[in-house]
Amino acid sequence: MDRKLPEIYEQIKKLEDEYSSIICFCERGGMRSTSLVGLLSSLGSRVYKLKGGYKQYRAYINENLPKLVEEVKFVVIHGNTGVGKTKILLEIDKLDGAMLDLEGCANHRGSFFGNVGLGETKTQKQFESNVYEALKARKGDVLFVEAESKRIGKVLLPEYLHKKMVDGVHINVHSSMDKRVENIIEDYDCDVSEILESLEKLRAYRPKEEVEHHIELVKSGDYRTVARELMENYYDPMYGKKAKPYELDYENVDEAETAKFLVEWLEKQEVDEMQD
């Protein structure tokens, strides 16, 4: 560790510019973190040791995340790729509505191209920690959440969380194809090489000629045609129709307006429920 101390110290000083205090930990909160915290404290850094180390922290998350999930109810927003579900969630948050952004917690959009432009997907442990922190800071006990399968990128939804979503209120959002294409173009404004890399992986699921066609379109800059054809021929047929009827079906033309409508709709549902 001695050779790394100057580098560690510089990293700590940078973190202190962003945070009021820094917590250091090792696996069990033993001598490694104790020694480092003692040294950094003597140099004037605002650092603390995590009691019990990372193992105790994980035990805390494993024990308390299910309890937080049990305290809430979900309004699950369904909709085909590109309708703007994540954007609607973020607009709901701006209105001080309660929401849980699982894809944000995972750093993945939940689709085949879900990590394009975002970098690495979070680890399972980091994902669960992010969900815990999001629920701990929630703005209410009835939260909007985007419909997800049991897997988002490389992370899995804990069974108790997925079941809670299945048992929630389900609504559907739809948009015109033109609107969906524009949303996709905006979301995937990134290095073309990442899109091409994802298209190469699509060879295992789509005909060779189709993938080659899309690669050529991307190289020529015709992203809209690629987005439209992938949604029409790949995503929409794959998702199909949900058998269970929705409590609400709403067309999203503008995410801010849709978010406002959904927040007001939920408030009315809660008032009516209290009056019944």
Task: Give CA–CA dist 157/163, Å, rounded.
Answer: 9
Q: Among the options 24, 26, 105, 190, which is catalytic?
A: 26
Q: Tell me the two tokens of residue 89.
A: 């969630």
Instruction: Write out the E strands in 162-246.
Output: 169-174
Q: Which residue's structure tokens are 């050529």?
A: 216
Radius of gyration of the chain measured on its C-alpha atoms: 22
**DSSP assignment letter at 2:** G
Structure-token match 């193992």, residue found: 55
Number of helical H runs and strand E runs in the chain: 13, 9
Residue 24 annotated as catalytic: no
79: left (phi over 0), alpha (psi -120 to 50) or beta: left
> What is the DSSP code (8-state) at residue 234?
I
Residue linked to tokens 């047929």: 237
Q: How far apart are CA 179 and CA 254, in angstroms?
A: 9
Length of the chain: 276
The beta-strand segments (E) located in the chain are 22-24, 47-49, 73-78, 99-100, 142-146, 151-152, 155-156, 169-174, 248-251
Q: Which residues are catalytic?
A: 26
